[in-house]
Structure 1
Amino acid sequence: MTRVGHWIDEAIAQSTALIVSRPRTIVIVFLLLTAFFAAGIPLVETETDLRERYSDGLDVKETQDDVEADFQGSFTAEDETTRLVHDGTDVLTREELLHVLRLLERIDDRPTLRMESADGPATMVAQALEPGADTPTEQRRAVERATETEIRQAVREVGSRRSFSRLVSEDFNRDGASASASITVISHDVPSAFDDEDMDGILTTIDTMAADEPADIRAFGSGIVDSELEDVISDSFVMVMPVVVTLLLGFLAVAYRDPFDLLLGLIALLMTMIWTFGFLGYAGIPFGQEMIIVPVLLLAVGVDFGIHIINRYREEKIRGDETVPAMRTATRQLSAAFFIVTATAVFGFGANVFAELEPMREMGLVASAGIIFTFVIFSGCLPAMKLQADRFRDRHDVREFNSTPIASEESLLGRLLAVSATVGKRAPLLMVVLLVFFGAGIGAYGTGVETTFEEEDFLPPEEEAWYVDSIPEPFAPGEYTATETLNLLEGRFAADQDQSITMYVEGPFEEDHALEALAAPDDDPPETLAVGPNGRAESRSIVSVIQSRADADPEFAALVARNDRDGNGIPDRNLDRIYDELFASPAGPAAERYLTPDRRAAQVEYTIESDATIDDIAADGADHADSFRYTATATGTPLIYNAITNSLFESSIQGMVLAIVFSAVFLVIVYGVLEGKPWIGLINVFPIMIAVSCLLGTMRLLDMPLNAVTGLLLSFAIGLGVDYAVHFMHRFVDEYTAHPETVSALTTTLSSTGGALTGSMLTTSIGTGALMLAITPVLGDFGLLIALSVFYSFAASIVALPPALVLWDRGVTSDATGTARLKALLGA
């Protein structure tokens, strides 16, 4: 052992001596620390704005922020509007139009709802019937006085307008004057002091008022989605955690088979949760839906640590040791394994701190802190509590219920687990080669897994699972409608308001050629941009505002014509004067939306074809930006989502690679320092890579994409999977050092530590697999994948490590060279 290894061994010996000599003091210190962290839990805040959190720091989002700052003030268009979604057999009949108008009238009568205007099929039809009907009351009276024939004629009249067709479903029949759904957009006049909560309150009130109408009308906006995203976190915890806890209790009861040990294990797990969530509060990190992963990960590792420490302590007791010597041996031997597991888990979890997306960085930080807390509590506090509990039993003569290890060499489970040692001895090279090809093949297949980022992934599906209706109060989840509305908007409308992109153009717009340069790229638009009858891209910019004002004001039209040298309707000189006249006219507010007062930046809004994919939109947006004479950058919701999905995939792969590299380097160093066997570190990574490959392949096979939650699993699977391989390897090294015979050491390791690994795997995978019952798809997928990850890690360690260690013993440690070493590797 090297000098560093000797120093580490002495540090472990001293900490072990402190634990076994002063267990009561250790317990008191840990209880005080738990009280400190508990005070931080109330500081934890939830965060539901998924797009904002995941897009923060991306270039395309920063451009979007520039657009909002320059042209829209402190609110975006979505924040200032509420959509009324009307669903039915035919929403353009006289009676259905009146339902919408009566609702608008009630909203207009309540000043606190700050309705400035409303634009929808009902208002357009009413104004076609009576052009002077500007208020909801006047519009309602106009429709009430009209006959069904007059209504149909008015619908046909306004049905040719694009502004009308965008607000009715794709099945709109102009001749039949019918449509199955419509959208009415309410604009709100809100002061600068208003914040998101104020707008959410308005939205909620309107939604409640809409529910009172006989028709199927619902209010919809970002506030509805945010509210349901927040509710789903608490509902998922309330619904799923009792199932998880029940399953964990059941399996832990089987693993521990003693109520005292079971209680101690649960207390240690609870302390781990308190410490982690307290850290979350003190660090000011928000609790998003992806943070639900954290307690599951800590349960996975904590359960494993607890079972190992208790099981190893029982082994020493069975051999005849007294309480303190048995705990000293168990703690001293497992502390190194726990340290290695913790360090490699931190590498796996912490690899995400290098991700581009802030939530992934925060997850890496919180999970790493949590695993360190788990190590400290289970290697320090749990042994001390166990000693105190056994001393209490001895003083009060409390019987032990079952203190035998989970498995032994004589037990059925022990003999079954030891089979891989026998098989590995007979054909180790063949097994290793087959496992390498299997892992490479399934990993290559898994690289085709898709990447998505959709708010719907975090919301309950439109059709709830069969068991949801059977859940009793108070565990039953609330009512969720956002997914149903989103599906309706996506499925029945040609283009939702989010299906647009914005071009942010920077340049000196006082120059004579500026407006010509701004409009020229629209002559040859890419395929994803909607095209008008003239073959040009459908866009809205300062040019279109000038042309609209010229159509309404003959004097302004004459000014534009005098300064339009080529006669195409776009002025190309004296632009400063034209801007001054435009900004001073009634069209001034519209002009301010597309050109900054200093004439240094402009925005152009483009309509997107309804069937365009976000990948195509992003590619065409970048190409179209390059066609501008001035510096132009494309932004908008589709481009932001595309950037998030690309970053998710890159961060997932980067995290996985970093986790493997960091873990491999660390394991080589630590086994070289502690045991003088550096090659064992590389062997330790072998089953982890197989497990991750199987996980990727399973995700593609089951059509589970990498998203904001499952994207973390690749690196997290390494952090979890290394747990099983390290415990196996550390016990093998102990047995091999004591009795240098590979198969015998493997048999003992598989039948003893393998039993603890089996109990840990069953407890963790089935307990965390209960998340499949969660009401959101993303949590259900995570629950299944985390359970599979644990199982794959266990199975890979049991199957892959024995033949790899046999090869190591025959080849690497052999003094033979050349042909003799090759024969040894082949088993000849």
Structure 2
Amino acid sequence: MSWVDRFSEAIMAHSRAVIAIMLVLTVVMGAGAGMIEQSSSLDQFQSDSTEAQKLSYVEENFTTGQENTTSAQVIVRGENVLSQESMVEQLRLQQSFRENETVNRTLVDEQPTVGAANLVALASLSGGQQAAQENGSSQQQATQENGTSQQQAAQEAPRASPTLQDQIDALESMNATEYERALGAVLSEDSAGQTSGLAFMPTNYEAGSTSANATMLLVTHQSEGDSGQGGMASDALVDAQLAMQSIANDNVEASGSEVIVFGGGIMGEEINNSMGDSLAIVGPLALLFVVVALIVAYRDVLDILLGLFGIAAVLVWTFGFMGWAGIDFNQMFIAVPVLLIGLSIDYAIHIFMRHREQRQHGGAYGDDDARGSMRVALAGVGIALVLVTATTAIGFLSNLTSPVPPIQDFGVVSAVGITVALLVFGTLVPALKAELDEFLENRGFDRKKRAFGTGGGRFSQTLSIGSTAARRIPIIIILIAALMSAGGAYGATQVDTSFNQEDFIAEDPPEWTENLPEPFKPGDYSMKENLEFVNKNFVREDSQAQILIEGNVTDPETLQRVSDAENETADSDVAVTLSSGEADVQSPLRTMRQVAAENESFNATFTAADTDGDRVPDRNLEQVYDELFEVAPDEAAAVIHRTDDGEGSDGSRSTVDDSSTGGDYEAVRMVISTSGTAAMSDVTTEMRSIADGIDGNGLEATATGQTILFDIVQKQLMDTVIQSLLITLVAVFAFLMVSYRIREGSATLGAVTLLPVVFSVSWILGTMYLLEIPFNVMTGMITSLTVGLGVAYSIHMSERYSLELKRTGSVWEAMSRTVTGTGGALLGSAATTVGGFGVLAFAILPPLQQFGIITGMTIIYAFLASVLVLPSLLVVWTKYLGPDVSFQAPSSDSTAPAASDGGRVEESGTEPTRSSDSDDS
């Protein structure tokens, strides 16, 4: 007796103990589900790359004024947002923000809100442009520079600034001439470097114009270490920005202008809401579809309820594991319940259908009662289920090679889930079914049901298409599949890769969702539209590249290299050009020039260090740095890293080993605002080119920043696709060939079993190309999933065929029983799995929609390959490499027992009569 026979005997002999133990374990594992935390941070997708380490270095060692702050951009849109009335309304909007308790408790103490309206009011109060320069000098650097400049405008505003009410009164008291003069002083090209408000205007704004359809004000929050941009925003920040949007919506009714709030808190809230709304929609839809499919397949209430109970147990175990293991729930894990629902029910269908076959036809030993039939059914499909679980787990675990942490977690959780499904549907559910069927039959209820697809008629004829083709034109079928695969392989080379914020931001849900009842009705989503507007028209506060320059930064050539880099940046297509015509760059050289324009002492030091008059110091750089820190410490600390003892923040010297490294000065940086519409790959290429121009002479320059880190993740996704596919194919090939060599004496049967899955991989990649679906954090796993999920269908077919071949000794009788018996179960499981994944198309998050569509297509291709292509492959294999069996047509009165008895032979050991190919003659 084999191990699977002994196992099935034990389950049925001790069914009540099995039920009790499994229920207790389910409760224990399920307790971990309450410990799951939710995360929507995009930082979690970043690996420990050099660029990530350098960005951490920048964040730890450079400052931009007040620490632990983050900003929200408030965009005001209207017919003319520069009118005097509109400017007053913008100041009143700021006043409303500060008066709101929820918003105010998160704002920084000094100048929490700033925009063009503030600068115009200050210009008026100070008696013109020159006076405004004196009162608002700390805003000068900010308004020239951009995202960094916008934030600094809020952080470095004068401590004794007039109140908002003073500014409102000043604007209201101005006549038309005075207002236009003040507005021109703030928004003209000549104002750049003084009291310029150009940084708060759209990038296409024409300097000096008195009309514009949009402007921006910056709101600075205390972030308590939470940036709210790439990372998770605190609850207080989320609440504050939501309150700001509510106030802004009220402002629309009052002023007629449209106001949108763009910030990390409100963006994170929409992402979190879209995760919850997606689950609320796809979860019930998946269960509903599965129930409908099971009603069609089972036509029995008890079997349906047992299937649903098993699914629930699998989900409890899986999410409990996540809690115990400390794995956070992120955007990707919305697919896990759907994945497990579809895969778990496959196990139930195969076991239940084999159980029904046994009860309907009986076995060699008359095991047709409830308990005996289940014992035989488990023995008959046990090996196949173990192989399916192992190969599917291999497919999932291949994602451990991915450098993207959440993809690794997804692979582990999915592998655990599919293993739990085998455990639940291989022990708990069969034990429950045997107990309940036996209980009901003892009370007069008939529990014998027909297996799906075995009743003859058109349905069985449809399933037999593959076996018929295999008998008549097997080579042609294989050639057609190969040609289609070649076309799919070409399309695979054309599939794009995508990873950016827009991937995770939901679009406004379709109209049909408005008719859904609570709590299934999704909320409103406007952030994606707002993000597109900001990208096209403004400099995003979080859209920056950084160039970190480490090493001998006091070398006389350092600032010349920085100057050359600034010139190269000005010619770059990816860098933002402000309305003043200048590239939006923050650097040590630009900071020095700004401070020199305001401070005579530093100007003298700056000029003395410039030997050729090009306004680029080329000697005594350490003295220039010292003087800059003395007269403008905040501005200096934003672009130069000075240590107290010449050591880095980690206690070590600079990464460039150079004994001439300049004393306490370890690094400088450039901050370059990049276009939100520029391709990430273009930004990375341009910034690395600029950094390469700085490298050398004791300097090491590294291009980094959020955009570059996202581009690295994007490239890692492609690596994940290729590596996981190769690893999965090699591992599954090896596993199946060894398994079939040991069990069937033929390793080639393992290769033949996997070949249809290889076909389906190329088909699905070709489909992605045709549908223009890119590889993202979800679809990037589709190759390993296709192998892991698709091989299950082929294994069930090969296992049944091999079993029937042993029982009957006839190729065609074995194939007929395989495609109508196992083929029917495969169709039922494919329908439930496709339906389960298909409902992801109704998710709010775009990556989930694409994942649902493409995974559903994967299952369809795997099923078609197993019932249409695999029979021809098996026939060819049997003819040239398989056992010596008959190829004669089966007799109509054949009474050989079904394979549901586990393929057991008579005790005497006699095998069914087999004949060679010569029997055909």
Structures share a fold, TM > 0.5? yes
Change in Cα spacing, 1:135 to 1:231, as seen in structure 2 (3 Å) is same
Aligned to 2:433: 386
Matched positions, count: 805
Equivalent residue letter for 2:558: A
Higher mean C-alpha deviation, range 242-251 or range 172-181: 172-181
Structure 1: distance between partners of 2:23 and 2:9: 20
C-alpha distance 355-19 of structure 1, shift in aligned 2 (>3 A)? same
2:402 to 352, 355, 359: 355
In the alignment, structure 1 residue 604 sits paired with structure 2 residue 667: no
Q: CA RMSD in A?
A: 2.6
Q: Deviations over 1:588-624 (max 9, x none)?
A: 1111011112210111112335663221211121122
1:144 to 169, 172, 175: 172
The one of 5, 9, 30 equivalent to 1:17 is: 9
Q: Answer yes or no: is the 8 Å Cα contact 2:499–2:714 preserved in 1.
A: yes
- Look up the match of 2:50: 59
Contact 1:542–1:595 under 8 Å retained in 2: yes
Matched, 1:613 2:714: no
Structure 2 unpaired stretches of 5+: 127-131, 133-160, 228-232, 363-367, 644-664, 886-916
Tell me, yes or no, if the aligned pair for 2:740 and 2:750 is still in contact at 8 Å. Answer: yes
Aligned-pair CA distance for 1:198: 3.6
Find the partner of 1:122 among 113, 117, 123: 117
User: What is residue 511 of structure 1 aligned with on the other side?
Assistant: 555
Q: 2:78 pairs with 76, 85, 88, which one?
A: 88
Offset of residue 709 of structure 1: 1.3
Cα gap change, 1:367 to 1:419, in 2 (>3 Å)? same
Shift of 1:291: 0.6
The worse-fitting range, judged by mean Cα deviation, of 526-535 and 407-416 is 526-535
Residue pair 2:545, 2:703 contacting (<8 A) in 1 also? yes
C-alpha displacement of 1:408? 1.6
Q: Using the alignment, how far apart are the partners of 1:250 and 1:169 within structure 2?
A: 54
Q: Could you tell me whether the CA contact under 8 Å between 2:680 and 2:708 is conserved in 1?
A: yes
Q: For the residues of structure 2 that align with 1:723 and 1:249, how far apart are their CA atoms?
A: 22
Aligned residue in 2 for 1:820: none
Aligned counterparts of 1:269 and 1:369: Cα–Cα separation in 2:
14
Number of the residue aligned with 1:34: 26
Does the 8 Å CA contact 1:408/1:414 hold for their aligned counterparts? Answer: yes
Residue identity matched to 1:107: F
1:634 shift after superposition: 0.2
Distance 2:281 2:180 in 1: 50
Cα separation, partners in 2 of 1:151 and 1:244, compared to 1, 3 Å: farther
Change (3 A) 1:74 1:372: farther
C-alpha deviations, 1:729-758, integer Å up to 9, x for none? Answer: 111110011123222211110011101111
CA positional deviation for 1:550: 1.2
2:818 to 742, 749, 770: 749
8 A Cα contact 1:155 1:174, kept in partner: no
Unaligned runs of 5+ in 1: 1-8, 817-823
The share of aligned pairs that are identical, in percent, is 29
* Aligned partner of residue 627 in structure 1, secondary structure: helix
User: Post-superposition shift, 1:432?
Assistant: 0.9
Instruction: Check whether the contact 2:283–2:338 (CA below 8 A) recurs between aligned residues.
Output: no
Give the alignment of 1:216-231 within 5 angstroms. Answer: 216-231=258-273
Q: 1:397–1:190: structure 2 CA closer, same or farther, 3 Å change rule?
A: closer
Partner SS, residue 569 of structure 1: coil
Q: What's the TM-score, normalizing by structure 1?
A: 0.92
Once residues 203 and 537 of structure 1 are traced to their aligned partners in structure 2, the CA distance between those partners, rounded to angstroms, is 30
SS of 1:603's equivalent in the other structure is strand
Q: Distance in 2 between matches of 1:56 and 1:356?
A: 6
Structure 2 distance, partners of 1:362, 1:190, is 29
Separation of aligned partners in 1, 2:535 and 2:305: 51
| Matched AA of 1:742 | V
SS of the aligned residue for 1:80 comes to: strand
Which residue does the alignment assign to 2:37? Answer: 45
Amino acid in structure 2 at the alignment position of 1:40? G
Offset, 1:125? 2.6
Q: What is aligned with 1:472?
A: 517
Give, as a single letter, the amino acid of the residue that structure 2 aligns with 1:393. L
1:12–1:228 CA distance, 2 compared to 1 (3 A): same
The alignment partner of 1:484 has SS state of helix
Aligned to 1:431: 477
2-structure distance, mates of 1:92, 1:795:
64
What is the match of residue 141 of structure 2?
none
Q: Could you tell me which residue of structure 1 aligns to residue 457 of structure 2?
A: 411
TM-score normalised by the chain length of structure 2: 0.83
In structure 1, the residue corresponding to 2:76 is in which secondary structure?
A: strand
Shift of residue 238 of structure 1? 1.5
Within 2, Cα distance between the matches of 1:60 and 1:289? 24
Q: Are the structure 2 counterparts of residues 339 and 470 from structure 1 closer, same or farther at C-alpha, using a change threshold of 3 Å?
A: same
After TM superposition, give the deviation of residue 562 of structure 1 in Å: 2.3
Partner SS state of residue 90, structure 1: coil
State how far apart, in whole Å, the 2-side matches of 1:536 and 1:565 are. Answer: 25
Q: Give how far 1:364 is off.
A: 0.7
Alignment of 1:549-560 (within 5 A): 549-560=595-606
SS of the residue 1:126 aligns to: helix
Determine the structure 2 residue equivalent to 1:694: 763
- Out of 181-190 and 658-667, give the one that drifted further: 181-190
2:97 paired residue among 100, 107, 115? 107
Residues 246-276 of structure 1 deviation map (CA, whole Å, 9 limit, x = unaligned): 2211111111111111111111111000000
Q: Please, which of 527, 530, 542 is the counterpart of residue 485 of structure 1?
A: 530
**Cα distance in 1 between the residues matched to 2:568 and 2:504:** 39
2:187 is aligned to 159
Contact 1:506 1:632 in 2 (8 A): yes
**Is the Cα contact below 8 Å between 1:207 and 1:220 reproduced in 2?**
no
| 1:197 equivalent among 235, 247, 257 | 235
Instruction: Summarize the alignment of residues 560-571 of structure 1 with structure 2, pairs less than 5 Å apart.
Output: 560-571=606-617
2:337 paired with 1:295 = yes
Q: Which residue of 1 aligns with 2:637?
A: 592
Aligned partner of 1:501 in structure 2 is 545
Alpha-carbon spacing, 1:500–1:439, altered in 2? closer, same or farther (3 Å): same
